[in-house]
């Protein structure tokens, strides 16, 4: 009898600069309730799921920038998410901006956490591949300031045993780089959770919209197949303060097939019953990957 895990990609529509965090938390809770009703055990929220995609906005003052960051997780504002996870026995991946005090200094990360049905943080990941630029680009229609606002992630690509599955995390641009999948693949990862915010236009060169979706799909289909892992990819999508973010939330099987795909650019839940033994056959028979023992990193 193979291991089954019902997963959900809990896609968010736009979050405007003026939207309150409380209104966003309500939307996240609604998606968790919907996921519970549909029998999900785990849901994946987007990257930076508590705020608008603020790296598109230039701010001079650190005080203003830090308003977008979380100093503790859970905080009083986000605690209802953790309480709902216990009530609904739901695990969830949440992307957010993390402000941490490390090596005697303040560090800022584009972070994701995996939270279990007991409301405790199982694991933390900090985005390694930071796209964009540090300086203000006056000729750009909007900025992409992740290199200015975030430090490079310093936790590597760990994996965790959770719900009898080896799980890993990545964030947005990470999905474009083969090492993201292979580092976790060599740790026998069976499910990678990934939130993203991807604008439909590039500031620096013209690129047709259909290529955005093509590249979004092929990098994950290849990564899933070449490492024998499931991937749940969840968008923040829609038009945020005039800037469009692509949709395309999807669930990819270890065969490389896309088995579920969002159809809107709004809050939308897509689900699938994943056979968690499917990837092992690919990893061991097709590629015979030199698997190390899965780390059980805890935070």
Residues forming the site for ligand ING (CB under 6 A): 131, 172-173, 176, 196-198
Q: Which is nearer to ligand ING, 111 or 198 (CB)?
A: 198
The distance of closest approach from Cβ of residue 130 to ligand ING in the complex, given in angstroms and rounded to an integer, is: 8
- Quick check: 34 and 12 in contact, CB under 8 A? no
The distance of closest approach from Cβ of residue 215 to ligand ING in the complex, given in angstroms and rounded to an integer, is: 7
d(CA 181, CA 210): 24
- Which residues pair with residue 273 across a beta bridge? 6
Distances in whole angstroms, Cα of residue 166 to Cα of each of 127, 163, 183? 19, 8, 13
Pairing of strands 191-196, 230-235: parallel
Q: Which is nearer to ligand ING, 173 or 249 (CB)?
A: 173
Question: Which among 40, 172, 250, 274 is annotated as catalytic?
Answer: 172
Residue 127 is a catalytic residue:
yes
Q: Which is nearer to ligand ING, 80 or 131 (CB)?
A: 131
The distance of closest approach from Cβ of residue 143 to ligand ING in the complex, given in angstroms and rounded to an integer, is: 12
Question: Which among 70, 124, 127, 146 is annotated as catalytic?
Answer: 127
The distance of closest approach from Cβ of residue 252 to ligand ING in the complex, given in angstroms and rounded to an integer, is: 16
Question: How far is the first Cα of the chain from the last one, in angstroms, to the nearest whole number?
Answer: 32
Q: Which is nearer to ligand ING, 54 or 196 (CB)?
A: 196
Question: Which among 47, 98, 190, 240 is annotated as catalytic?
Answer: 47
**Residue 118 exposure: Cα atoms within 13 Å on the Cβ side:** 5
**Residue 43 exposure: Cα atoms within 13 Å on the Cβ side:** 33
Residue 172 is a catalytic residue:
yes
* Catalytic (active-site) positions: 47, 127, 172
């Amino acid at each position: 009898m193979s291991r089954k895990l019902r997963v959900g990609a809990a896609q968010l529509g736009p979050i405007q600069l003026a939207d309150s965090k409380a209104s966003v938390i309500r939307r996240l809770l609604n998606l968790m309730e919907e996921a519970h009703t549909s029998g999900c055990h785990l849901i994946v929220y987007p990257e930076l799921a508590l705020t608008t995609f603020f790296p598109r906005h230039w701010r001079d003052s650190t005080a203003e920038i830090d308003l977008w960051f979380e100093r503790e997780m859970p905080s009083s504002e986000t605690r209802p998410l953790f309480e709902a996870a216990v009530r609904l026995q739901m695990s969830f991946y949440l992307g957010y901006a993390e402000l941490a005090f490390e090596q005697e200094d303040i560090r800022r990360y584009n972070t994701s956490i995996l939270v279990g049905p007991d409301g405790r943080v199982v694991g933390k990941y900090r985005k390694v591949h930071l796209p964009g630029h540090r300086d203000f680009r006056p000729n750009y229609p909007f900025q992409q300031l992740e290199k200015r606002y975030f430090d490079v992630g310093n936790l590597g690509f760990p994996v965790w045993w959770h719900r009898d599955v080896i799980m890993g995390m990545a964030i947005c641009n990470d999905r474009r780089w083969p090492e993201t999948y292979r580092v976790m693949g060599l740790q026998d990862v069976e499910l990678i959770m990934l939130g993203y915010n991807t604008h439909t236009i590039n500031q620096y060169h013209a690129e047709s919209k259909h290529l955005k979706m093509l590249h979004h799909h092929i990098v994950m289909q290849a990564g899933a197949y070449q490492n024998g892992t499931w991937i749940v990819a969840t968008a923040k999508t829609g038009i945020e303060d005039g800037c469009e973010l692509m949709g395309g939330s999807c669930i990819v099987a270890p065969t490389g097939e896309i088995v579920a795909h969002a159809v809107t650019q709004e809050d939308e839940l897509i689900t699938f019953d994943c056979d968690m033994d499917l990837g092992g056959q690919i990893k061991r028979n097709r590629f015979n990957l030199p698997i190390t023992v899965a780390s059980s990193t805890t935070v």
